[in-house]
A and B are shown apart, each in its own frame.
Chain A
Amino acid sequence: GESVGLHLPTLSVQEGDNSIINCAYSNSASDYFIWYKQESGKGPQFIIDIRSNMDKRQGQRVTVLLNKTVKHLSLQIAATQPGDSAVYFCAESSSQSNFGNEKLTFGTGTRLTIIP
């Protein structure tokens, strides 16, 4: 089946630096992508999403980049803060699959640690 994966399971970044978390996906029909943040003891929190008709989308201190040619997704966090320490994971879906974009496929996550 299709899978979504991450290049690195852990990432440590100095406070104030920028961080980049990567995600590879294998389904060429994927057309909707989401990044989630999960803090310890909490459920996943929606950060930002992007549709396949876009290459880049910006939020507050976050940017998602989509490269459909190589099926790669990245999340950039600017000026990282201690509160950014969490597990981040991507998810994707395809409107062409059964139940369309309702069914997300999740990556296993990258643990981001911000070093004070």
Chain B
Amino acid sequence: DVKVTQSSRYLVKRTGEKVFLECVQDMDHENMFWYRQDPGLGLRLIYFSYDVKMKEKGDIPEGYSVSREKKERFSLILESASTNQTSMYLCASSFVAQGAIYSNQPQHFGDGTRLSIL
């Protein structure tokens, strides 16, 4: 089974702090994703990465950055945390079938980090 592990289940930070959320997957997946999940809004894509050191903006990248130095690890960074970034953050990964251009494969999720910014 795919295992996507997020380093913290709950996190409380203060406004203005730099916050790091870590995600590790153990299935050698090429793609990794960061979402936030808010009531009534569903999952919204922040950033994704299709290879080491490669990243693409999702739908709501403002206020966030990412880092992917190793294939198995994808970090989400809140440069200067604000109260409107209080949310559930979900990491996911998926693989790309050999020879395929796009993965066309399901994304597998971690259990999320519930982040509160005070």
Contacts and interface: CB of A to CB of B under 8 A. Distances in A.
Interface in B65-106: 90, 92, 94, 101-106
A106 B38 CA distance: 12
A109 B104 contact: no
Contact of A104 (B50, B56, B107): B107
Contacts, number: 59
Contact of A102 (B90, B102, B109, B110): B102
Interface string B26-59: 0000010000000011110100101000001010
Interface of B: 4, 31, 40-43, 45, 48, 50, 56, 58, 90, 92, 94, 101-112
B90 A43 contact: yes
Interface in A17-53: 32, 34, 36, 41-46, 49, 51
Contacts of B109: 36, 43-45
B106 A46 contact: yes
A95 B45 contact: no
Contact of B40 (A91, A104, A108): A108
Residue from the set A36, A42, A43, A95 with the largest chain B CB neighbour count within 10 Å: A43
Nearest to A42: B111
User: For this complex, into which size category does the number of interface residues on chain A fall?
Assistant: 20 to 34
Interface string A42-74: 111110010100000000000000000000000
Nearest to B106: A46
19 contacts: A43-B92, A43-B110, A43-B111, A45-B109, A46-B106, A46-B107, A91-B43, A95-B102, A99-B48, A99-B50, A99-B102, A100-B104, A101-B102, A101-B104, A102-B102, A103-B48, A104-B45, A106-B43, A109-B42
Given A43-B110, A103-B58, A95 B104 contact: yes
Nearest to A89: B42
Contacts of B106: 34, 46, 49
